[in-house]
Structure 1
Amino acid sequence: MNPQSSDSPHPEVPQPPAGGGCPMRHTGATTRLYAPESTADVYGTYSRLRKQYGPVAPVLLEGDVPAWLVLGYRENRRVLDNPGQFSRDSRIWRDWREGRVEDTSPLIPMLGWRPDCLSQDGEPHLRLRRAVTDSMETVASRGIRRHVIHFAHRQIDAFEDQGRADLVRQYSEHLPMFVLTRLFGLPETDGGQLVESCAHVMKGGEEAIAHNERIGRVLADLTSHKRAEPGPDFTTGLIGHPADLDDDEVQNHLRLVLIAAHTTTSNLLARVLQKILSSGTHLADLVSGQMTITAFVEEAMWNSPPLAVLPGRFATADCELGGQHLQAGDLLILGLAPGNLDPEVRPHPGTAVSGNQAHLAFSSGPHECPGQGVGQAIIETAVEVLIHRLPGLRLLADPAQLTDTASTWETRLDHLPVSF
């Protein structure tokens, strides 16, 4: 999808202010953030880049597209909190404007412009974001917990008589999507395909565009259906909101929420379960009430945020950030995971973070995640149901031997084998 393309007319592509000198081409960048040698030990890659470049490092994305990876906590905050200096509008992205990024690039599903609130700043952003938050509050007020309880029990029913399970493949990977299908007014049968397509969009690679288009077709059909037959769901809320969204805007907000909410919630649920089961005392403390699920969620937000790297921001003018000289139109990607572990703000990463919500996991500034409460409700309810349904729950692996699979944007837990 071309960042500028749409079925409905949109404003002319904005021009970034002219900068002096030649555009920065990252001639010193040799780290391909998407390459196996980088993703095999992604936290090691972040550490190496920090030592080499400081809080902002030049990297290469798929297709060897240059970007600045923001590693510092304070630098991430500066970018996220200043949309006038670092815009989310990718139409000012110089490499795309000058034809070095094709419309078929696997980066486009993550970075391309769309008529949604994430791609815009200022008043257009506020108008669209209000439609999202109002519609989300409406469905949340009708009770998300009951949907989570229903689907959690159904997931557990499928493996309970076996006495063992993989809580990633058989629980956390699918449960949030089933809840989202109910909130959106989608048929449950779409859930499995949407899980697969969201995973491919996040992973990148050759199939990302095809799976992004598949998601688009499902949501276009849903929008058409809900215009004809409204219901008590998020889709109908967007369609009927006073902001008067057209079909293109409705579909793109459905896509935005679907991918972001499923990816972050499924990742975070897996990490919370991993932490709880990594020690017998953790589970005992939770059952006895000495620890809360919220405390485990906060720890995961700091140490393994569900979105490791956030795409992206674009410099609106020449500027300096973290000792690097940026040019107008440069792409920045926000290292939420390395930012949370920045030794400048966390010299002792192993120390407790209970009650400290200053992490970057939900982003920050005007584009801060609007669905935090929904995600938290899904995770807390899913953990509660699981613990009460499965007595004697224990991990069937050495916690140190559990493996991850990383891409540019996320690091996912592969398996979480348990018995009960």
Structure 2
Amino acid sequence: MTDDRTPPASGSGGCPVAHGEGTTRLYGPGAATDPHAIYARLRGEHGAVAPVLLEGDVPAWLVLGYRENRRVLDNPLQFSRDSRSWRDLLDGRVEATSPLMQMVGWRPDCVSQDGEPHRRLRGAVTDNLYAVAGRGIRRHVTHFANKQIDAFADAGRADLVADFAEYLPMLVLTRVFGLAEREGRSLAESCNQVIKGGADALTHNERIMGLLGELAARKREEPGSDFTSGLIEHHSGLDEDEIVNHLRLVLITAHTTTSNLLARALQLVLTETAWLSGLVSGQLNMSAVVEEVMWNSPPLAVLPGRFATADLELGGCPVKEGDLLVLGLAAGNHDPGIRPDTGVSVQGNASHLAFSAGPHECPGQNIGQAIIETAVDVLLHRLPGLRLAVPPDDLTSTASTWESRLDSLPVEFAR
């Protein structure tokens, strides 16, 4: 596949080569085990911006540099979130049924738009997230965390991914949204499949949209003190499509990022004894742990997507109008230009890219932080002598284009 939009590179570390034969794929078996090695190789070959292929061999630019990521995120006039300007889509090179469309395609939600439409829709989301945060999030987390722990506490061992982190955030979200608790596990699995991509992504997305459409209809008839009712009643006057799509947006992003981050935070405290002893002694708090994880293992490794609004240069690369750029949050956090020694702790430095930046910065980060802090606190109090049941080097992760998830976290504890 040849793409004549971009001239060949002048050499290593300069302008990237054209998308074509040999371009690195960010999906499939080759990318599933060690994405950081791929980012490092691309950085060495191309510099701060590299040509890559997404699922379906769709061309994109992966932004690897910290400063370049910030430029894209902070400048919506140059790098729009509106995929209706995506040239490969307009030219018919991307099918409407492509799994990429679940992550990149336009929807009537705040992350798909810029300017005043974005401000109107984001205001409805943020107002209701702030309201939800004041209505007992920590109480909900404590309830469901204890319920999860009750299921394995007598066994003396557990997998803290499958038995705890994988579903806990979604169980909390069922209470926040006004959903039935019984929907929690299947919704978590569907959200994970949408992020993962592949042939089943569309089916799982349709299931999520169906459930949320039913929820919105029910809450119009029977409103309550929940996030769904708040969106319906907000003074911004969201229509039906906007309401359901914002429910989808918050459900998928809040669950997948928080479950991933919770698993990584638990991995850190169980593999680095200084972190665990600091938490138990009270010398450290969970916010310091979460901050460290945000730098080293952000819950979304790659953020979709931005679209160039004009021909421009980024990181020495000539980006053309309508090109898709995806943001390498993990790569940017490890950029040697701003972080030459990744072995040094970043405590007290919150300038990571994990929550994005600019107008589209994640508005729900405080809620995610509350879920993680409360969940870990409950876990440490309930399970005395909690320790890793395997050598740290035995822990594995599996990556998709957008994230890298811990496969399992086997632990033992006193019964």
Common fold: TM-score over 0.5: yes
**What one-letter code is carried by the residue in structure 2 that aligns with 1:327?**
K
Partners of 1:80 and 1:325 in 2: how far apart? 18
Name the CA distance, whole Å, in 2 between partners of 1:355 and 1:106: 38
Code of the aligned partner of 2:79: F
SS in 2 for 1:106: coil
- 1:209 is aligned to 2:191: no
Paired residue secondary structure (2:230): helix
Question: Do residues 54 (structure 1) and 47 (structure 2) align?
Answer: yes
Alignment deviations for residues 10-60 of structure 1 (CA, whole Å, 9 cap, x no partner):
xxxxxxxxxxx9634623661111021122211100000000000000000
In structure 1, C-alpha distance between the alignment counterparts of 2:313 and 2:140, rounded to whole Å: 48
Structure 1 residues 257-293: Cα deviation after superposition (integer angstroms, max 9, x where no partner): 0110001100000000000011333222211011111
Q: Deviations over 1:45-98 (max 9, x none)?
A: 000000000000000011110000000000000000000000000000000011
Aligned to 1:15: none
1:9: which partner in 2? none
Report the counterpart of residue 101 of structure 2 in structure 1. Answer: 108
Please give the alpha-carbon distance, in whole angstroms, between the structure 1 residues aligned to 2:4 and 2:64.
25
Are positions 1:248 and 2:241 aligned together? yes
How much has 1:352 moved relative to structure 2?
1.1
The corresponding residue for 1:10 is none
1:379 aligns with one of 342, 354, 372: 372
Partner Cα separation in structure 1 for residue 67 and residue 381 of structure 2: 41
Whole-angstrom CA distance in 2 between matches of 1:331 and 1:379: 33
Does the 8 Å contact 2:275/2:289 carry over to 1?
A: no
Aligned to 2:212: 219
Deviations 1:153-196 (A, max 9, x none): 00000000101000000000000000001000000111111111
CA shift for structure 1 position 321: 0.3
Code of the residue aligned with 1:121 in structure 2: it is: D
2:66 alignment partner in structure 1? 73
How far apart, CA to CA, are the structure 2 residues paired with 1:264 and 1:202? 10
Structure 1 position 141, deviation (Å): 1.1
CA contact (8 A) 1:31 1:38 kept: no
> Residue 320 of structure 1 aligns to which amino acid in structure 2?
E
Q: Do residues 328 (structure 1) and 310 (structure 2) align?
A: no
Whether 1:285 and 2:274 are equivalent positions in the alignment is no
- 1:63, 1:288 → 2: CA distance? 50
Aligned to 1:301: 294
Query: Where does 1:110-125 land on structure 2 (aligned, <5 Å)?
Result: 110-125=103-118
Aligned counterpart in structure 2 of residue 265 of structure 1, from 232, 238, 258: 258
Match of 1:97 in 2: 90
Specify the alignment match of 1:234 in structure 2.
227
Which residue does 1:312 correspond to in 2? 305
Match of 1:12 in 2: none
Deviates more, 1:372-381 or 1:135-144: 135-144
Alpha-carbon distance between aligned partners in 2 of 1:283 and 1:138, rounded to the nearest angstrom: 33
Q: Quick one: distance in 2 between partners of 1:86 and 1:104?
A: 24
Identity %: 67
In structure 1, C-alpha distance between the alignment counterparts of 2:20 and 2:138, rounded to whole Å: 51
| Superimposed CA distance per residue, residues 95-125 of structure 1 (whole angstroms, 9 cap, x where no aligned partner) | 0011110011010100010000000000000
Mean CA deviation greater in 286-295 or 121-130? 286-295
Which of 383, 393, 403 is equivalent to 1:410?
403
Q: Are the counterparts in 1 of residues 69 and 332 from structure 2 also a CA contact under 8 Å? A: yes
SS of alignment partner, residue 232 of structure 1 = coil
Kindly indicate whether residue 126 of structure 2 is the aligned counterpart of residue 169 of structure 1: no
Any idea what SS the aligned residue of 2:62 has?
Answer: strand
Deviation at 1:126, TM superposition (A): 0.2
Query: Any idea what SS the aligned residue of 2:25 has?
Result: coil
Residues 28 and 320 of structure 1: CA distance in aligned 2, closer, same or farther (over 3 Å): farther
1:36 aligns with: 29
Give distance in 2, aligned partners of 1:29 and 1:128.
41
The 1-side partners of 2:179 and 2:28 are apart by 36
The CA distance in 2 between the partners of 1:406 and 1:59, in whole Å, is: 16
Residue of structure 2 equivalent to 1:130: 123
Question: Which digits, 9 at most, give the CA deviation of each residue in 1:368-411, with x for residues without a partner?
Answer: 00001000000000000000000010000111220001000000
Shift of 1:143: 1.6
Matched-pair contact (CA < 8 Å) for 1:29–1:59 = no
Partner residue in 2 for 1:184: 177
Deviations 1:190-244 (A, max 9, x none): 1111111011111111001110111100100000000010011000000000000
Partner of 1:5: none
The answer on whether the counterparts of 1:308 and 1:337 sit within 8 Å (CA) in structure 2 is yes
- Could you tell me how far apart the structure 2 residues matched to 1:283 and 1:26 are? 46
CA contact (8 A) 1:29 1:60 kept: no
Describe the SS at the equivalent of 2:252: helix
> RMSD of aligned C-alpha atoms?
1.1
Query: How many corresponding residue pairs?
Result: 400
Matched, 1:153 2:146: yes
The residue number in structure 1 matching 2:340 is 347
Between the aligned partners of 1:136 and 1:219, the Cα distance in structure 2 is 17
Greater Cα shift, 262-271 or 30-39:
30-39
